[in-house]
Structure formats: structure tokens, C-alpha cells
Structure 1
């Protein structure tokens, strides 16, 4: 199943280093609000910390891929 999520992440990221919250949520089959709430309460989601650009949270693709592959 992680392989499926890794392929989906590769499609969503399309070569970018960071993805937006709604894209991050899609990879984990969660609502974007779930991701935002966790960030507000803990400063991360599953140990992944985003960059904050203006009013957007940008999540690092490399960290997401590591988590999906069990490297974290």
C-alpha cells in the first residue's frame, strides 16, 4: 500500500520539492483540515514540518517520501 501512496506522491509532486496542504492530505487520504489542525496543535503532521510561505503551508516531498518508505 505504501508503494501506491509513493506513486501518487510522485504524480502529485510532478518534480516539485514541496506540495500544498491539500495535496499532502490527498497522499494520506485525509482531509486538509486534519493536516492543518495537527500543524496548529503540534507544529507538524506525522513528524513532517512544513515551510510557511505567506498563508500557505508547503510540505517537503522528500520527507513525505521517506515516511511512506518507512525511512523515518
Structure 2
């Protein structure tokens, strides 16, 4: 009997269930970060940030940039929204 194609391997299930690990905000030296990483720093869900971008209701200084159809969030804006220098 062959395994069902809908079943995932243990590695796949583990990768889906484990949260992503991101470096501390003070160590980030890139100008922008992807939505998932920005949401981690802002303690929000990624879909919340996508909603902000769509409705343009993001906090002051946190306007995302669209790069090839994807959102990139400015690290300086994340720091400003958190009140971190």
C-alpha cells in the first residue's frame, strides 16, 4: 500500500508548526523586512499588516514599499512605531 499524497512528512509538519525565528530588531541592518518579520516585531499577525497596507491605515512613518508585488516594511518605520531610537 502506497502512502497517500495528501499526507505530509514529519519534517513538513514540524516546519509548518514551528514559528519562524527572527533576529532582534536592533541587529537588523537591512532597510526593509518582509511582512512576516515586521509583524513579529510589531506583535501583530501578518494579515493585520496586509490589511493596513491595503486600507492605508498603518501607523505614521510605517508606510510599506511594494517590491515586485510584495510588501517590504521599512525598519526605521518599525523602530519609530515602537518608539525605539
TM-score by length of 1: 0.70
Tell me which stretches of 4 or more aligned residues in structure 1 moved more than 3 Å. Answer: none
Compare relative contact order (CA 8 Å, sep 6+) and give the higher one, 1 or 2: 1
Q: Count residues with an aligned counterpart.
A: 62
Deviations along 1:42-71, one digit per CA (max 9) or x if unpaired, are x25212101100121111111211221267
Residue 10 of structure 1 and its aligned partner are, at CA, apart by: 2.2
Please say which structure displays the higher CA radius of gyration.
2
Partner of 1:8: 24
Q: Which consecutive unaligned segments of at least 5 residues does structure 2 have? A: 1-22
- Structure with more helix by fraction: 1
TM-score by length of 2: 0.61
